[in-house]
Amino acid sequence: MQSFIRRAQPHQIPGYEDWLASLLHARGITDAAQAQAFLYPSLDALHDPIRLLGMPQAVALIRELGARKARAVVYGDYDVDGLCASVIAEEALRATGLKTVVYIPDRHTEGYGINADAVRKLAPQAELLLTVDCGITAVEEVALARELGLRVIVTDHHQPPDTLPPADAVINPLLGDYPFPGLCGAGTAWKLSCALHGLAFAKGQLDLAAMATIADMVPLLSENRIIAAHGLTALADTRRPGLLALMRAAGMTPGQRVTSDRVGFGLAPRLNAGGRLNTAQDALQLLRTTRDDEAETLAQRLDDLNRERQQQERQVIDQAEALLAQENLLHAHSIVLCGQGWNSGVVGLAAGKLAERYGFPTVVLTEEDGVATGSGRTAGGIDLYEALKACGDLFVRFGGHKAAAGMTLPLDNVPALRRRFDEAVRAQLGGQPLVPQVYFDAPLSLADVRTDTIQRLEMLAPFGIGNPAPAFLLAGVQLASARRVGADGRHMKMALRAGNELRDGIAFGQGDRAEGMPPQLDAIVRLSLNEYAGRVSPQFQLQAYRAGEQAFVPDPVGEQRALMQDMAAIVSNISRLPAQAEAWTGEEVPPRGTLLLCRTADTAQRMHRRWPQLTTAAGAYADRRGSSAVLYRVPLDAIDAPCDTLVCCDGLLGEAEAAYMAQMFPEAKLYFMPRTEALEGLLASLRLSVDDLRLAYVQARQDGHLLNLGWQPMRAHAAALILQELNLVTLEGNQLRLLPMTKRDPADSLLYQLLQ
């Protein structure tokens, strides 16, 4: 179950087409001046860096120390933002005359941020300690550095605590009245470079600043949009040997336009791979090197590490899924998982994938020597930092922002974190259900999925947080085809049809849905151009879907098969549990916990029309979070989802079915609707008379099977099961082996009774 929310409303801006004005309005742009600034981002629109709180003091101190050729240490971080910020700061400090080195902590032995041991080691080597992308919460560590004689400048963009570190200067766009608080760590360092040397100097660092801005998922609005737009152009023309080698390793060709997607999915993961699996030194040196041969070696090494990172990430996700399979998420609003031996460098990525998959804010931790270290990612509009802040006393340290955070805590505190984090998420929800929200900008016809449409949408690029790639609702389109593609069938290749229009698309990571797609759907898609063999064609990327008006394809044979599977299970698992089913009153269905079981297409379609917001599924249903759903021809043992309410929408077969359902779902309350004519017809198609059973027995004696009766396969199967239940035959596949003949009454067969 998910909520589709329209982001863009009709809007007009003089001089702009209505469709573009609507998209701009959804991104906070309401007039022509704002539209001009957004669509044509100019470096002239950057804010004066001196307006950043602490910037005048930092500039004065750096120039003072640079004048006498003092030594400085840039203390950075091991992700793309921290690495790019470190190189930007190093270049800026050296240009003032400071003899500068860069220190990047080891993620696996030191963790994130400034640590006391590193401060003690660095103190004799420098007079200035400049932090980038870290330090805002390091009150004790900065105090130690000052005691040891270091001057300290903190530049960071993470959420400031109530007490700031006692540095000579603290620069953070979230402090003071700086007009744009959304800079990343490298963006903040770049503003320091601008303040020290002017824009002409800092333009040479825009390639690094843009890469970090995109990779760190800060809002691509205002200054960040300017940095990203001009920086992507600078990236395409970069002369840094390391970036050129990295782009080749990512499969990018010379002269190819560099987009935010190519940075986010191609360059950034490779730069991050070193710090995740080993140390960040190779990535740091790649950004600094001036030698082509060294750049090629380092880029290849990072490319290899990225492949290894992908493998380790999949392993952590698989093991995390195994842990989740043991938990009942029906009443949960968050996920907290802790595993042994998980690489601390990939748990944040795993948290992001799980948060996206389940729609819950997620924390993934790895334990070692009684300490749990990990990362969290948000979902459902929850402010992750505030939710974790409510659990602050459980952590040794934690930090981050609304969307992502890192933390360290004693292993014994993990159960309390699981409970209190969920309580904090519930408090933010204010009693409302946590329903995955999918945003789209506007409806679109399939005929408008054209090359020229997609090219015009590029006016809004670069895309990212705060300026997502436009998404559109294709309402009531027909599913033409769907099949698994890619390694292990992880993705779904599909085609949609509307009238005479047909368009191809891809659904990344949704290969497991290819067999259960509805015949008609409302699809939220993003548009892109597919370039293959010199041919350019429009395509869509499926973001989310729900069943359209026609949710199910009638499948009489499938209905028979599912019914027989349940009946056979009822016969084989006769339960002594009393029947507890009650009549269903047709009340509202909550977002989670209710399954509407429909044995016939007519009933399933009727339930879908009544509750169109519910998930639909046919043949099987798996959902660990327990979303409410309409299920068609889904045998009870093909349901892998927690629930607290089961409704037999076609009516009950009898007390035996109720008892079996109570056995299968002991925590659920059972309800039934009146028996439908559709179910009566389904039962009639399988029903067998005494003469039918006698004929089946004679056929079994003659042929050892029932294939020559000319009956529908499921009806013949029902006859075989009844004969077996009466101890007249044993069934081995399609073969029947006769047992010693005895006179039996068909009424002694529970299956026979159910069919009657």
Residues 546-559: tens digit of each pLDDT: 999 999 999 999 99
C-alpha distances in angstroms, 433 versus 333, 531, 588, 625? 9, 42, 14, 12
Residue 586 in this model has a pLDDT that exceeds 80: no
- Which pairs with CB-CB distance under 8 Å and at least 24 residues apart come from 97-100? 97/66, 97/67, 97/68, 97/69, 98/62, 98/65, 98/66, 98/69, 98/70, 98/71, 98/72, 98/128, 99/69, 99/70, 99/71, 99/72, 100/71, 100/72, 100/73, 100/74
Of 188, 133, 162, 211, nearest to 400 by C-alpha is 133
pLDDT higher than threshold 70 for residue 101: yes
CA distance 267 to 248: 10
Residue 512 is predicted with a pLDDT of: 84
Tens of pLDDT along 48-81?
A: 999 999 999 999 999 999 999 999 999 999 999 9
For position 577, what pLDDT does the model report?
58
Which pLDDT score, from 0 to 100, does residue 402 have?
Answer: 87
pTM to 2 decimals?
0.81
Task: Express as a percent the part of the chain with pLDDT over 90.
Answer: 74
User: CA nearest 713: which of 564, 525, 494, 601?
Assistant: 564
- Higher-pLDDT residue of 111, 164: 164
DSSP, collapsed to helix, strand or coil, labels residue 34 as: helix
Instruction: Round to whole Å and give the CA distance between 641 and 329.
Output: 9
Determine the Cα–Cα distance for residues 127 and 351; give it in Å rounded to an integer: 39
Tokens of 99: 């003899």
What percentage of residues in the chain have a pLDDT greater than 70? Answer: 99
Residues 193-249 have pLDDT tens digits of: 999 999 999 999 999 999 999 999 899 999 999 999 999 999 999 999 999 999 999
The whole-angstrom distance between residue 453's C-alpha and the CA centroid of its chain comes to: 27
C-alpha 93/C-alpha 207 separation (Å) is: 18
Give the chain's domains with CATH numbers.
7-35 (no CATH), 49-237 (3.90.1640.30), 238-320 (no CATH), 327-429 (3.10.310.30), 439-544 (2.40.50.460), 556-682 (3.40.50), 687-755 (no CATH)
The mean pLDDT value for 655-684 works out to 92
- Amino acid identity of 167? A
Q: CA 195, 199, 200, 201 torsion: positive or negative?
A: positive
User: Bridge partners of 691?
Assistant: none
pLDDT band per the 50, 70, 90 thresholds, residue 575? low
Which band of pLDDT confidence, cut at 50, 70 and 90, is reported for residue 578?
Answer: low
Element (H or E) spanning 566, and its range?
Answer: helix 556-572
Q: Are 697 and 736 in contact (CB under 8 A)?
A: no
- Is residue 576 predicted with pLDDT exceeding 80? no
The answer, yes or no, to whether residue 254 has pLDDT greater than 80, is no
Residues, the chain, total? 756
Average pLDDT, the chain: 93
Q: Quickly state the pLDDT bin for 465 (edges 50, 70, 90).
A: confident
Instruction: Give the pLDDT score at 36.
Output: 94
Cβ–Cβ under 8 Å, residues 91 and 57? no
Mean pLDDT confidence for 29-49: 95
Structure tokens at 731: 């069934």
Strands 99-103 and 71-75: parallel
Whole-number pLDDT of residue 1: 73
